[in-house]
């Protein structure tokens, strides 16, 4: 292969050498003697250019090929690390910039050498600006919905069902399978490939607890795929330099979808970036039965509370009930009256007092 490249470059060098000589050849003299001498000199110069060009091509060929190979390998490695979205949006911006540069440089041909310099400068500048702007605005370019007017986008959002992108935490939690089975989630369920990879790493962990959680998440995914026909696996790489949570938010912007999670921190970051989020914990709190002050209920007190004399019990849905004066009834089931309800980010807390104590207070009044 080396020999073939050397021979090819030697031929190219010889042709370039004789071409340069012939292009710069001066007109022959009018007198016959000088004409003959000029012709001989011209042929000798052409032969010399042929030989010099061939020798230079043969000697410099391997160096040029090695340098070109390094440049191609460097460009290829850079392209492989660049996300596909960046390549597509950058290509679009570069083409638009070159078209604008061509239109601006049409009237500069009459300026001669100065016009050529200006056209080159305008071409480089417009191409670079188009490339940079398109890469920075790649999310809008690769999302056609953002091109529509606000009124049309609003109508389209009402008619179309946006995809729901599942987070790793909500898959491991498992309640998403029951929610999907109940039919409350509409639209396609999107499971990114990087979420599957994270689940696989958790399932292969040396820690027994993490390994069990990862395997549970994979079992939940298998169940959802069997029961739902709208499950999609997103195989494309979003951005290898980002973390999983950042990839989820970026994918939600690309697909114009919603992130399904029970991660409190991810929920807050998504709100800051304007990404819609469906939080399973908020849904669970919303569907809990409403309890009003003065209602009566039966509670099994299982432990003491933080304050003196308090007892703690739980409803079937996990809501914690703080019973004033219930410490001495730990391990027993008692009737209580609700005094107040506190809604926090972690869930709902119910404060109550013993029914017998409330009756005694009423009689005392």
pLDDT tens for each residue of 347-357: 678 899 888 77
Same structural domain, 314 and 274? no
Residue 140, classed as helix, strand or coil, is: helix
Quick check: is 324 in a domain?
yes
Q: What is the pLDDT of residues 260-271, one digit of tens each?
A: 888 888 888 888
Q: CA-to-CA distance for 35 and 32, rounded, in angstroms?
A: 5
pLDDT score, position 39: 46
12 in any annotated domain: yes
- Position 141 scores a pLDDT of 64
State the pLDDT at residue 313: 92
Q: Is residue 17 part of a domain?
A: yes
For the stretch 113-123, pLDDT in tens is 677 777 888 88
| pLDDT score of 153 | 46
My answer on whether 282 and 300 are in the same domain is no
Which secondary structure element, helix H or strand E, spans residue 114, and what is its range? helix 113-136
Identify whether the C-beta of residue 323 lies closer than 8 Å to the C-beta of residue 352: yes
Same domain, 314 and 281: no
| Of 15 and 172, the one with more pLDDT | 172
Last residue of a domain, one of 57, 81, 105: 81
pLDDT confidence tier of residue 111, bands split at 50, 70 and 90: low
Contacts of 116 (CB under 8 A, 6+ apart): none
Q: Are 158 and 267 within one domain? A: yes
Q: Are residues 350 and 279 in the same domain?
A: no
Say yes or no: 157 and 281 in one domain.
yes
- CA 16 to chain CA centroid, Å, is 50
CATH of the domain at 353: 2.40.50
| Residues 200 and 219 reside in one and the same domain | yes
Q: Say whether both 188 and 263 belong to one domain.
A: yes
Predicted structure pTM score: 0.49
Pick 209 or 105 by higher pLDDT.
Answer: 209
DSSP states of 156-180: HHHHSPPPEEEPHHHHHH-HHHHHH
Higher pLDDT, 149 or 189: 189
Strand stretches in 317-357, DSSP E: 320-324, 333-344, 347-354
252 in the same domain as 309 = no
The answer to whether residue 325 sits within a structural domain is yes
CB atoms within 10 A of CB 63: 9
List the CATH number of the domain containing 237. 3.40.50.1010
- The domain containing residue 264 runs over which residues? 150-286
* Residue 10 maps to a domain: yes
Query: Of 258, 286, 314, which residue constitutes the final position of a domain?
Result: 286
If asked whether residues 156 and 264 sit together in one domain, one would say: yes
Query: Do 247 and 316 fall within a single domain?
Result: no
- In which band, very low, low, confident or very high, does the pLDDT at 157 lie, cut at 50, 70 and 90? very low
271 falls within a domain: yes
Inside any domain, residue 92? no
CB of 341 within 8 A of CB of 348?
yes
Residues 351, 322: contact at Cβ < 8 Å? Answer: yes
**Total tally of structural domains belonging to the chain:** 3
Q: Is residue 111 part of a domain?
A: no
For residue 212, pLDDT beyond 80: yes
Helix, strand or coil, per DSSP, at residue 299:
strand
Structural domain ending residue among the three candidates 259, 286, 313: 286
Which two structure tokens, joined as six digits, stand for 263? Answer: 């991660």
Q: How many CA atoms lie within 13 A of 156 on its CB side?
A: 12
Same domain for 230 and 154, yes or no, is yes
């Amino acid at each position: 292969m080396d020999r073939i490249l050397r021979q090819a470059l030697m031929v190219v060098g010889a042709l370039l050498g004789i071409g340069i000589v012939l292009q710069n050849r001066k007109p022959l003299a009018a007198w016959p003697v000088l004409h003959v001498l000029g012709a001989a000199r011209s042929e000798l110069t052409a032969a010399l250019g042929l030989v010099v060009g061939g020798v230079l091509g043969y000697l410099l060929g391997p160096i040029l090929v090695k340098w070109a190979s390094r440049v191609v390998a460097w460009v290829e490695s850079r392209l492989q690390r660049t996300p596909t979205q960046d390549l597509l949006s950058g290509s679009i911006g570069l083409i638009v910039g070159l078209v604008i540069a061509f239109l601006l440089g049409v009237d500069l041909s009459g300026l001669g050498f100065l016009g050529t310099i200006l056209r080159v400068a305008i071409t480089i500048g417009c191409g670079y600006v188009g490339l940079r702007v398109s890469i920075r605005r790649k999310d809008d370019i690769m999302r056609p919905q953002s091109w529509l007017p606000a009124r049309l986008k609003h109508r389209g959002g009402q008619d179309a069902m946006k995809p729901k992108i599942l987070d790793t935490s909500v898959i491991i939690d498992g309640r998403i399978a029951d929610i999907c089975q109940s039919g409350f989630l509409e639209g396609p369920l999107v499971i990114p490939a990087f979420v599957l990879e994270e689940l696989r790493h958790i399932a292969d962990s040396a820690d027994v607890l993490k390994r069990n959680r990862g395997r549970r998440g994979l079992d939940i995914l298998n169940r959802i795929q069997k029961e739902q026909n709208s499950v999609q696996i997103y195989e494309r790489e979003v951005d290898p330099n980002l973390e999983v949570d950042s990839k989820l938010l970026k994918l939600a912007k690309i697909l114009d979808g919603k992130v399904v999670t029970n991660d409190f921190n991810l929920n807050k970051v998504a709100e800051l970036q304007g990404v819609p989020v469906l939080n399973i914990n908020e849904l669970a709190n919303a569907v809990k039965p409403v309890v009003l002050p003065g209602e009566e209920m039966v509670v099994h007190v299982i432990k003491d509370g933080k304050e003196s004399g308090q007892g703690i019990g739980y409803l079937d849905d996990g809501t914690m009930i703080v019973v004033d004066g219930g410490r001495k009834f730990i391990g027993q089931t008692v009737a209580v009256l609700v005094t107040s309800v506190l809604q926090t980010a972690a869930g709902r807390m119910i404060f109550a007092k013993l029914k017998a104590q409330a009756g005694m207070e009423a009689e005392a009044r």
